Amino acid sequence: MRNPLSDTVIKMKPSGIRKFFDVVSEMPDAISLGVGEPDFDTPWNIREEGIYSLERGRTFYTSNAGLMELRTEICNYTERRFGMTYDPKTETIVTVGGSEGIDMALRAMLNPGDEVIIPEPCYVSYVPCVELAGGVPVTISLKNENEFRLTAQELEDAITDKTKILCLSFPNNPTGAIMEKEDLEAIAEVVLRHDLIVISDEIYAELTYSGKHVSIASLPKMKERTIVINGFSKAFAMTGWRLGYALGPAMIIEQMTKIHQFAIMCAPTTSQYAAVVALRDCDKDVEQMRQSYDQRRRYLLNEFKEMDMPCFEPKGAFYMFPCIKKFGMSSEEFATKLLKSKKLAVVPGDAFGQCGEGFLRISYAYSLDELKEAIGRIKEFIKE
C-alpha cells in the first residue's frame, strides 16, 4: 500500500503537553497543577441559557459567521471592555474556540514560504498551524529577565524580507507574562515600519492583575493590520463549549469566513446562544473569578519566595513560570521525578518551546486547598 500520510503532518512534532499527559495518565492517583482551563463551572445563567436553547429546539446551523445577535454582543463587549470598535457584519466571525481562529487567520494570509514570527514560550499550536498553512515559523526566545515580554529589538532581529506575520499571545500561556501599552507601542512601531500583520491571541484578556489589558489593535494604525483572537473559554470558564471569535479587517475576515464555511460550517449553535448571555449578564462573574485567580497568584508567589524558588511576578492568565535551573535538572527530569516521587503533575516548560527549558508551568486554576497540598509536596521534594 502507498504511504497514506502527508509529509507536512508527519514532520509536525507532537505536542509536548500531550507527551507529558501520557506519562501522567499512567498514574491515576496523582494530583495536578497541570491544567490550562478554569476550575470554575460555567456560570449557571450561561448554562441555563444553553439548556433553554435546546428546549426551544434551536438545534439548527447558524449563519457561517455566527448568530448576528452574538456578533453584535461581541462588538458591544469589545467596545465596552477594551475600547475598540468593530462592525459585527463584516469584521467579526464566531469560531470554534480561539484555536480555530488562529488556524484560519494563518491559512487566510500565508503563501508558501512566508515567515511567521512566534515569540516563545507560547501555547503549543502556533508553530504546527503555521507549518500546516505552508508558512515558515521563526521563533524568538523570550527572556526571563524581561519578564518574558517581547522587545522591539528582539522583533527587529527576527525580521527578514520574507516576514509577513507576527503572532502575539499576551497575557501569555505558559508564562503569565503581559505586554503593557508602552511595550506594545514599541512593537507596533516595528510592525508598521516593516509592514507586518499581527495575529494577537488575547484569550486571557480578562485575566490581568495590574491594570486593564491593552490590545495592540487599539494603537494608532494597528487595527487595519491586526486580527484579534478571543473567546469564551478562559474569561467565562467555557472551555468545553468550544466558542471563540476573531475580529479584524473585513478583507481578512471575509476570507477566513470562506475557510470556516467549508471546513466547519458554523460554531455550535447551543454555545452561541449561551454566549449571548455570557456577554450581556456576566461581568460580575468574570470579575469574581478574576479576583479568585489573583488571590491564588499572590499565595503562590509568596510560597515560591519562601521556598526560595526564583519566579518573576506573572501579571496575567493563571500560570506561574518558576525557574528550576538551580536544581541541576532539566524541566522534564524535574517534572517526571516530582510526579513519580510526590505524585504531583506540572508541565515542563520546554513543552512550550525550547527556551522554556529550565522552567515549569504551574497552573493556579485550582482551589486554595488543592494549591496548599501541592505546594507542600513541592517543598518536600525540594528538601529531598
Partner 1 sequence: MQSKKTEILRMIRNNAKLTVKDIAVMLGSEEEEVNTLIKEMEDEQIICGYNTVINWDKTDDERVTALIEVKVQPQRGEGFDRIAERIYNYEEVTSLYLMSGGFDMTVFIEGKTMKEVAQFVARKLSPMDGVLSTSTHFVLKKYKEAGTKVEQRKKDERQVVTA
Q: With contacts defined by CB under 8 A, name the span among 42-50, 112-120, 141-149, 294-302 that binds partner 1.
A: 294-302
CA distances in angstroms from 310 to 209, 240, 325, 359, 361, listed in the order given? 20, 34, 9, 10, 13
Q: Give the total of residues touching partner 1 (CB under 8 A).
A: 27
- DSSP code for 334: H
- Residue 95 interacting with partner 1 (CB under 8 A): no
We find the least distance from the C-beta atom of residue 28 to partner 1, in angstroms, to be: 9
- Residue 345 interacting with partner 1 (CB under 8 A): yes
Q: Which of 8, 25, 85, 146 binds partner 1 (CB under 8 A)?
A: 25
What does the buried/exposed string (b/e) look like for 104-138 if buried means 16 or more CB atoms within 10 Å of the residue's CB?
Answer: bbbbbbbeeebbbbbbbbbbbbbbbbbbbbebbbb
CA angle 165, 170, 322 (to 5 degrees): 125
- Residue 35 interacting with partner 1 (CB under 8 A): yes
Q: With contacts defined by CB under 8 A, name the span among 53-61, 74-82, 297-305, 373-381 that binds partner 1.
A: 297-305
Asked whether 197 and 248 are in contact (CB, 8 A), the reply is no
Asked whether 154 and 119 are in contact (CB, 8 A), the reply is yes
We find the least distance from the C-beta atom of residue 17 to partner 1, in angstroms, to be: 6
The whole-angstrom separation of Cα 44 and Cα 41 is 8
Q: With contacts defined by CB under 8 A, name the span among 48-56, 82-90, 117-125, 161-169 that binds partner 1.
A: 117-125
- DSSP code for 55: H
We find the least distance from the C-beta atom of residue 167 to partner 1, in angstroms, to be: 16
- Residue 225 interacting with partner 1 (CB under 8 A): no
The whole-angstrom separation of Cα 248 and Cα 101 is 11
- Residue 9 interacting with partner 1 (CB under 8 A): no
Identity of the residue, 89 or 212, whose beta carbon is nearer to partner 1 in the bound complex: 212
Q: Which of 52, 77, 299, 327 binds partner 1 (CB under 8 A)?
A: 299
Residue type, 284: K
Identity of the residue, 148 or 209, whose beta carbon is nearer to partner 1 in the bound complex: 209
Q: With contacts defined by CB under 8 A, name the span among 18-26, 241-249, 252-260, 271-279 that binds partner 1.
A: 18-26
Identity of the residue, 126 or 273, whose beta carbon is nearer to partner 1 in the bound complex: 126
The whole-angstrom separation of Cα 159 and Cα 45 is 47
- Residue 307 interacting with partner 1 (CB under 8 A): no
- Residue 123 interacting with partner 1 (CB under 8 A): yes
Asked whether 177 and 203 are in contact (CB, 8 A), the reply is no
Compute the half-sphere exposure of residue 62: CA atoms within 13 Å on the CB side of its CA. 22
3-state secondary structure of 136: strand
What single string gives the DSSP state of each residue in 142-204? --GGGTTPPPHHHHHHH--TTEEEEEE--SPTTT-----HHHHHHHHHHHHHTT-EEEEE-TT
We find the least distance from the C-beta atom of residue 366 to partner 1, in angstroms, to be: 8
Q: With contacts defined by CB under 8 A, name the span among 4-12, 36-44, 146-154, 325-333 that binds partner 1.
A: 36-44
Q: Which of 24, 207, 214, 274 binds partner 1 (CB under 8 A)?
A: 24
Q: Which residues bind partner 1 (CB under 8 A)?
A: 15, 17, 20-21, 24-25, 30, 32, 34-37, 39, 41, 123-125, 173, 291, 295-296, 298-299, 302, 345, 347, 368
